[in-house]
């Protein structure tokens, strides 16, 4: 995998309906999205040349923009086709897929009703974070200082760039202290999610996960809930308080980048990745295979 900065890589990026050389896909420094946070994005993965749940991601991409009061000028079908075109043009089968949309440079003030919406899609190699043996050891999580905001104060259900500012700060602080990531609480002090992944806990054979009403209801999260129920496992979506952290035996996180990753610690609270977590990792690995995706479709 290349270690070059992202602006120095080679390949092709789809920008506003055209396929451009990687280095030519640019935006102006006075783009509204850069200054005022008017940008949304998606994180997707392609496995064996097929993007997992591409349509669902494209639909959420559109909804995210609508929450921010702008419209992506492409249909779900057009976005799906563009993503696959970029994948093929770059000659990649297993890759990370990043659609992003932002307000342009026609206006430079808080109001931006006349700003053009720009849309880009890039892909790059990004292998799974861990092999199974390493993954089953579990990662360590810190507890973030910042909290997910009250939905009345921010468009919490949008995958909006601005909502990730506190995630970046929290992840940096966690990594400086030797953790892999940080668990975030919501504005009322209840367990919410990690900086870029949803979280699940296991107690007495049941899976518990926070209600996704002030943070993103991840597509991987939804997939894993479905896989768990298909196994006959009970999934309880509820409010989970920090004082319950010692009550659980297993913990894992889910997301496009994380896939299904076990957790061994949340700042002093210990867990042992075991059978349920392993089974869901295996089920998810099977679900994202191109032949499994085709059968599901």
Q: Which residues are catalytic?
A: 159
* Region of residue 264 (phi > 0: left; psi between -120 and 50: alpha; otherwise: beta): alpha
- Which tokens is 27 given? 């935006």
Give whole-number Cα distances, 54 to 79, 126, 216, 225, in Å. 9, 17, 17, 18
Number of alpha carbons in the 13 Å side-chain half-sphere of residue 201? 27
- Give dist(CA 183, CA 79) in Å, integer: 32
Can you tell me whether residue 293 is helix, strand or coil? helix
Q: Single out the residue of 210, 205, 207, 219 nearest to residue 186, CA to CA.
A: 210
């Amino acid at each position: 995998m290349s270690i070059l900065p992202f602006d120095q890589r080679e390949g092709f990026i789809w920008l506003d309906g055209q396929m451009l050389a990687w280095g030519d896909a640019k935006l102006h420094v006075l783009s509204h999205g850069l200054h005022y946070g008017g940008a949304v994005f998606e994180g997707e993965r392609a496995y064996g040349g097929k993007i997992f749940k591409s349509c669902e991601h494209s639909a959420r991409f559109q909804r995210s923009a609508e929450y921010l009061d702008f419209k992506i000028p492409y249909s779900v079908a057009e976005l799906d086709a563009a993503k696959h075109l970029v994948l093929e043009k770059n000659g990649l089968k297993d890759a990370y897929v990043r659609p992003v949309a932002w307000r342009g440079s026609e206006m430079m003030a808080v109001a931006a009703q006349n700003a053009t919406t720009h849309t880009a899609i890039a892909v790059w190699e990004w292998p799974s974070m861990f092999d199974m043996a390493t993954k089953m050891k579990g990662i360590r999580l810190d507890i973030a200082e910042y909290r997910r905001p009250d939905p009345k104060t921010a468009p919490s259900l949008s995958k909006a760039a601005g909502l990730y500012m506190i995630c970046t700060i929290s992840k940096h602080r966690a990594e400086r202290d030797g953790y892999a990531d940080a668990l975030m609480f919501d504005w009322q002090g209840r367990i919410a999610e990690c900086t870029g992944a949803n979280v699940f806990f296991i107690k007495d054979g049941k899976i518990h996960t926070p209600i996704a009403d002030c943070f993103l209801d991840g597509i991987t999260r939804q997939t894993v809930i479905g896989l768990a129920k298909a196994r006959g496992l009970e999934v309880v979506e509820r409010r989970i308080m920090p004082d319950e952290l010692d009550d659980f035996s297993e913990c894992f996180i889910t997301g496009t980048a994380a896939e299904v990753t076990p957790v061994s610690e949340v700042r002093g609270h210990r867990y042992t990745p075991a059978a349920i977590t392993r089974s869901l990792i295996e089920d998810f690995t099977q679900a994202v295979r191109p032949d499994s995706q085709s059968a599901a479709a």
